[in-house]
Chains A and B, each alone.
Chain A
């Protein structure tokens, strides 16, 4: 553990307003490279971000509205540098924002554009929306951190245990390595094997962490979580270090975690990777996803040979007030079964596809790509006559990027999204999970049928 953790109490930001004119391309790229280095990326990382910024900017100059400047925000995320372009788009140019649109548009010179290039040179990128016609494309490059050896020596700790809500960086790093030594990679954040990175993520608030310590202050267990949207927290763990104290440790951590999030704005807690130590009866099983992971196993270097069934668990932090959800009638059997099993009161409203004549020509899908996890998540942003073709093109383009797991999220608060199901089905997506209140209403997670190689 030689890497020093940085103390980012005040996060830095560099903001540029650029006319949408490719003459300013060098300004954007130079700003990105310089900021990334100031924010702690090494030269290679800074160049990767600068390259993505250059691509994005050229791309936006071609396709975004021209009347207004494009705002580039470069920000220091502690363990990463983020470049965010905010721009306004008119309907005509929206099509170009599709991840896959570039594959077949403007035939010839623009065969590979924007997000595709960014997907290769950055660690995460995506499209989001902050107003009716205000969009953001962003890309992130992570700081390089050294890998450390997991610690698997058995721990013999002395009860009673206590919770430490604000552990020092060194203790967090030690606990992360203990967890890495006792749990397989898929059950823990990647950063556990780069503990300085994990500690920095905690220091900058990307992760919250709670440790259990024994009578002499040795780490006995860890649970960590982060916000997912405005209303949900996603946790990993609990990780316990002394099997003899497993039950007490897990219960203490889980209770402490729930006490911390219980009076926040979060409505529910989900787990992406619950361990077997999760106390019995405290969470509800939502179902599972079949995940293949990145072909090269992300930064662990150990890919998952076999696909794993990843169960999802959740619990509410308040009473459920009930809700109405919109869905195509083809989805009703799945939803009825799930809502009944989980005892959720939902009014199922039938959402029929909009008549083609009333739809714009082009749809828009937002894609986020996580190279480390080999995972792409699609979210429909605008309906259009070409939706099904557009989705197919996205799936193909994502597969070409070597992303093996493709999910699609439908927010069932939106009738038009619920109505898209037949098109998803035609493209090979099947409904897998309902995430209660994860969006404006419940989110339906669909998964693309994995390709068999």
Chain B
């Protein structure tokens, strides 16, 4: 007898739970019965894109939508090449840096290989590896930061890639130059080292290692950067990978062309050319927000972790998902941290002061409500 549709699907697909992104704002607002929603969940830059990028977006002619974009982001790569003083061939642009994570794993891993990263970091490295059938060796954080020695100790002959999130999402910790140098010497070129610098523009410290420079001395270093965070172009999905030409050539073979859209490419290029004031203003906003939040958390007697990046983590006296639902009822959307393996912590993106004040007022109310919750 013919099978039912469910029976046609392989077991590992039936078991696979697709990542469910949050619902659109109007739907969430109606469901939670609120007339506004502050998104503090995705570490977006609430200032919006730099002025030059805005101009490009506003001037985008609808007829250009009929035309395919540059399949390999040619003009954007030229701008990146000038900015970082490297050959344009050493850049590969993707539909957000998430896309290039998959490309790198596909390029270097085969059956039986493994990747190494931290247990409490951005989930996509681990997810892509596991769903592609490769082992992800997850090294516990040490004092909230990546543990270089334990990562080196976990390497074996089948280790192909080590992912270092610098600064780390969600703890904001980062390795300084010495730590990074020692680590790279320890790896000794035996595997690819991906340094994900999604939040590097938020760090204003000369001890912070620049991956763009490291890769000139360590040929196995590959750097990820994104226009989603500091540059506030998350909705246009542009990120890239940079490395030695030979390394990038291999990654390009697994990469989908035409994945970056026609508005995103010129907007990203414009954002790079006009970023000094924007970066300064964003850093100021983040500093002011942390200046408000951290003393408030101290006063509430809550543990928090705040280092580099436009986010802070705070430990809650109840399940993070309960706090999330209660905050949503007050028009505030944060990120629950169970999925980052920090159960009972939430992460808050740092934005303008009035919104931070709204958040604090709602958070205080919620703590009072859940304070006496049993179990």
Contacts and interface: CB of A to CB of B under 8 A. Distances in A.
A and B: bona fide binding partners? yes
A300 to B, nearest CB: 26
A320 B4 CA distance: 31
B142 interface: no
B99 interface: no
Interface string A306-349: 00000101011111111000000000000000000011111100
A317 B17 contact: no
A284 B31 CA distance: 21
Nearest to A320: B325
Given A317-B338, A343-B329, A345-B32, A262 B343 contact: yes
A68 B1 CA distance: 6
Interface in A171-218: none
B328 interface: yes
A281 B321 contact: no
Contacts of A145: none
Contact of B15 (A230, A259, A319, A321): A230
Interface stretch (B19-27, B48-56, B107-115, B151-159): B19-27
Given A258-B343, A282-B375, A130 B7 contact: yes
A404 interface: no
Contact of B6 (A68, A131, A284, A322): A131
Contacts of A265: 15-17
A343 B326 contact: yes
B20 A318 contact: yes
Interface residues on A, range: 35 or more
Given A230-B17, A281-B375, A284-B375, A320 B321 contact: yes
A316 B375 contact: no
Contact of A321 (B3, B20, B318): B20
Nearest to A254: B343
Interface string B321-332: 110111011000
A263 interface: yes
A262 B341 contact: yes
A281 B341 contact: no
B259 interface: no
Contacts of B335: 319
B20 A263 contact: no
- Which of A258, A281, A313, A346 has the most C-beta atoms of chain B within 10 angstroms of its own C-beta? A281
B5 interface: yes
Contact of B4 (A71, A134, A347): A134
Nearest to A278: B375
Given A88-B1, A130-B7, A322 B23 contact: yes
- Which of A69, A317, A342 has the most C-beta atoms of chain B within 10 angstroms of its own C-beta? A317
A258 B338 contact: yes
Contact of B324 (A68, A283, A320): A320
Contacts of B341: 258-259, 262-263
B344 interface: yes
A318 B374 CA distance: 21
Contacts of B228: none
Contact of A345 (B4, B322, B329, B374): B329
A345 B325 contact: yes
Interface residues of B, number: 44
Interface string A254-296: 1100110011111100000010001011111100000000000
B4 A283 contact: no
A322 B321 contact: no
A231 interface: yes
B319 interface: yes
B28 interface: yes
Nearest to B15: A265
A284 B22 CA distance: 22
Given A69-B1, A130-B7, A134-B4, A281 B325 contact: no
B31 A345 contact: yes
A266 B339 CA distance: 11
Contacts of B325: 320, 342-345
A132 interface: yes
Nearest to A317: B338
A263 B375 contact: no
Nearest to A344: B325
A284 B27 contact: no
Nearest to B130: A263
Contacts of A322: 23, 27-28, 31-32
Interface stretch (B74-82, B119-127, B162-170, B193-201): B119-127
A413 to B, nearest CB: 15
B321 A319 contact: yes
Given A131-B4, A262-B341, A274-B375, A319 B322 contact: no
Given A274-B375, A281-B317, A283-B375, A321 B17 contact: no
Given A265-B15, A267-B17, A315-B321, 8 more contacts: A71-B1, A130-B6, A263-B126, A284-B319, A315-B322, A317-B338, A322-B31, A345-B31
10 contacts: A230-B17, A282-B343, A284-B319, A284-B322, A315-B343, A316-B338, A319-B324, A320-B321, A321-B23, A345-B33
In the A-B complex, the 5 residue pairs with the smallest Cβ-Cβ separation, listed nearest first, are A131-B4, A265-B17, A316-B321, A322-B31, A68-B1
Interface of A: 68-69, 71, 88, 130-132, 134, 230-231, 254-255, 258-259, 262-267, 274, 278, 280-285, 311, 313, 315-322, 342-347
Interface of B: 1, 3-7, 14-17, 20, 22-23, 27-28, 31-33, 41, 119, 123, 126-127, 317-319, 321-322, 324-326, 328-329, 335-336, 338-341, 343-344, 373-375
